[in-house]
Amino acid sequence: MNVEGIIIFDRGWTRMNAELELHQLDAGHAVAYQSIRLQALRDSPTAFNSSYEEEKQRSISEFADLLVPSPSRGIFGVFDASQLVATVGFGREIRRKVNHKGIIRGMYVAPKYRRQGVGKQLLSHALSFADSQPGLVQLTLVVNTANISAISLYEAFGFKSFGIEPAAALIDGALHDEMHMVRLVPQAI
């Protein structure tokens, strides 16, 4: 399968270039996922509603539980050799009245890998996974309004703002607004 220049290999791995690979994470990646998640919360605290202090209390088994794949959810990661350097998650509502909705969350690219197309290819892969979901009509996400590069990336993939939540997060004593964005699934339109 070829998704915008990404070749998906038999083992579920996607070769992005000579060094980077994209994979749907599973419980075996719990240590690597915990490491990058804590790094993300330290490096970019305004990008997440969880805090470093809360997440560092989670055990490896709790992180492993988050990574158990299902047909309607997944966390994807980009590896440079054995190091996890970027992640994004997709989840689908399970309640009947809102089962047509999905959410993109936890997007993070380590600083060294930014502005190289890593986030673009990772998001593209997650959206392809989401778009393959039968009956899925829309995807939503939330982004800090100060994160202009993330907003631009999401807009490039068809996400549109449908509201700003003022004072949505209180981080280190400062209030931050969040933009709510939506993207209709192409085959549902």
| CATH of span 2-136 | 3.40.630.30
8 A C-beta contact, residue 139 and residue 187: no
Residue closest to 111 by CA, chosen among 81, 140, 80, 76: 80
The CA distance from 77 to 33, in Å, is 9
Domain residue ranges in the chain: 2-136
pTM assigned to the model: 0.87
Q: Where does the pLDDT of residue 188 fall: very low under 50, low under 70, confident under 90, or very high at 90 and above? A: low
pLDDT digits (tens, 9 = 90+) for 62-120: 999 999 988 888 999 999 988 999 999 999 988 989 889 999 999 999 999 999 899 99
Residue closest to 139 by CA, chosen among 187, 94, 90: 90
Task: Decide: residue 4, CB within 10 A, 0-12 exposed, 13-18 middle, 19+ buried.
Answer: exposed
Higher pLDDT, 53 or 4: 53
pLDDT of residue 71: 83
pLDDT of residue 83: 92
Q: Where does the pLDDT of residue 15 fall: very low under 50, low under 70, confident under 90, or very high at 90 and above? A: low
